Amino acid sequence: MAWVERGDTYNLMTGGGARGIPSAETKEMISQSLKGKPSNHAGKTHSDQTRKKMSQRRSGEKRKSHSDERKKKIGAAFKGKSISKDHCDKVSKALIGRTLSKEHRKRISEALFLQALKLKNKGTRP
């Protein structure tokens, strides 16, 4: 571009500034150097006043659900994957001693009943 090659402009390269648009190699180097480091907000918490403001700002806002196409992609990504025995053991150990309320146990029971009902009726036409 002609205007970039002129010496009297502030934008010294395409993308503005003196550095321009980083190459894929540079982006990868930056990514690798930041891996394993905590974020800038690590160890910090928002004040009660700030949390209240954020809550008020989001109140009344409906959460967006995934589109049908996105749901299919997510399902396809998990299809055929299995959980390792080690992972199952860790989850089991983490849940030992957990107590559930009566309402929660009832909801789980109803969900399992509906799931069993669906499996029973799978393949049959209404």
- pLDDT tens digit string along 66-110? 999 999 999 999 998 889 999 999 999 999 999 999 999 999 999
Task: Look at residue 4 in the predicted model and tell me its pLDDT.
Answer: 53
Look up the pTM and report it. Answer: 0.31
Token pair of 124 as six digits: 């049959």
Average pLDDT over residues 20-39: 88
Task: Look at residue 39 in the predicted model and tell me its pLDDT.
Answer: 85
Task: Look at residue 43 in the predicted model and tell me its pLDDT.
Answer: 87
Average pLDDT over residues 40-67: 89
- CA dist 28 to 15, 42, 53, 118, Å? 19, 23, 37, 47
Report CA torsion sign: 103, 107, 110, 116: negative
Report the percent of the chain where pLDDT is more than 90: 46
Which is more confident, 26 or 8? 26
